[in-house]
């Protein structure tokens, strides 16, 4: 199993130093990736947990120049709130400038008010999501001139260079806990990115989807909160001692998980880095593959 780390680019602890220090600590400790969270224009009444928030793609572009090895991801980009041609260009640029280190999870979002603030329809976001993902695939194929004709997005003979370094573009996952999100991931993406979903539920949903997945490579990569060192915490998927967390990760692995994006719960930057260090030294060796 491989591991990524959620960065504090949002919320009460968000800041340049906290984000940079967490990314550099993750790289030095051997984590595979670091991830930012995306919101652009939440209504005030929904924004408390996310204020302040540093814009996701700008933050990753900054971190690309400060890191050398660790991969750079968004968990999750609310794709129907962005023009997919513009997003595809930004992500391809990031991929080239970072040396092919970009990763991406996309989601349809949950805030009707945020959609209204940005001038996008909330009711058809699922259909636009499907087309937007197809746009990303189209512009990342490596062609220097790209065209796409859909119901919601269409463009003709757009000059698109540079393309991403990797053939087909960055790994693309779909975020969401519902059967519909998993189906979208199976049909249109490289992997599925549920949030805090118990291993038993992941196992159940994957068994239903297995006929569609077949034998092709498909990454199951949940975003999971982590609380190390104390008692097990209700609602926190990875909590308790290092030994208990190892056993829980083995349950996830048995369910089909091969990648975990970890949100370390901490009251300070020092506490966050201590938890990351403990995880890297006591949890990763028994389960990393």
Domains of the chain: 2-287 (3.20.20.30)
Q: Name the E strands within 20-63.
A: 33-36
For residues 102 and 75, what is the distance between their CA atoms, to the nearest angstrom?
12
pLDDT tens series, the chain, 289 aa = 999 999 999 999 999 999 999 999 999 999 999 999 999 999 999 999 999 999 999 999 999 999 999 999 999 999 999 999 999 999 999 999 999 999 999 999 999 999 999 999 999 999 999 999 999 999 999 999 999 999 999 999 999 999 999 889 999 999 999 999 999 999 999 999 999 999 999 999 999 999 999 999 999 999 999 999 877 788 899 999 999 999 999 999 999 999 999 999 999 999 999 999 999 999 999 998 6
Distances (CA, A) of 197 to 4, 155, 194: 17, 38, 6
> Mapping DSSP to helix (H, G, I), strand (E, B) and coil, where does residue 270 land?
helix
Q: Which class for 9: exposed (0-12), middle (13-18), buried (19 or more C-beta within 10 A)?
A: buried
Which residue from 43, 39, 49 is spatially nearest to 265, judged by alpha carbons?
A: 49
Entry pTM: 0.97
Contact partners, residue 153, CB within 8 Å, separation at least 6: 83, 84, 85, 128, 131, 132, 135
For residues 207 and 214, what is the distance between their CA atoms, to the nearest angstrom?
11
Tokens matching residue 267:
């009251």
């Amino acid at each position: 199993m491989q591991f990524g780390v959620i960065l504090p680019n949002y919320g009460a602890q968000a800041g340049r130093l906290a984000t940079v220090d967490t990314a550099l600590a993750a790289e030095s400790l051997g984590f595979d990736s670091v991830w930012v969270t995306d919101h652009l224009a939440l209504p005030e009444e929904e924004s408390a947990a996310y204020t302040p928030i540093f814009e996701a793609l700008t933050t990753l572009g900054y971190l690309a120049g400060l890191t050398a090895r660790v991969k750079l991801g968004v968990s999750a980009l609310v794709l129907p709130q962005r023009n997919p041609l513009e997003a595809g260009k930004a992500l391809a640029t990031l991929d080239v400038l970072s040396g092919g280190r970009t990763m991406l999870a996309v989601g349809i979002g949950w805030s009707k008010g945020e959609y209204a603030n940005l001038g996008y329809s909330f009711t058809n976001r699922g259909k636009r999501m499907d087309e937007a993902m197809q746009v990303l695939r189209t512009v990342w194929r490596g062609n220097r001139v790209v065209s796409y004709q859909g119901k919601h997005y269409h463009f003709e003979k757009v000059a698109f260079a540079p393309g991403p370094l990797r053939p087909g573009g960055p790994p693309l996952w779909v975020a969401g806990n519902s059967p519909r999100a998993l189906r979208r991931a199976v049909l249109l993406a490289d992997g599925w990115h549920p949030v805090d979903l118990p291993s038993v539920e992941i196992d159940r949903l994957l068994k239903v989807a297995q006929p569609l997945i077949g034998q092709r490579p498909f990454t199951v990569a949940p975003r999971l909160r982590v609380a190390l060192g104390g008692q097990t915490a209700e609602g926190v998927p990875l909590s308790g001692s290092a030994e208990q967390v190892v056993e829980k990760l083995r349950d996830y692995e048995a369910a089909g998980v091969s990648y975990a994006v970890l949100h370390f719960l901490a009251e300070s930057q020092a506490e966050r880095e201590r938890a990351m260090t403990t995880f890297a030294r006591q949890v990763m060796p028994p389960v990393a593959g």
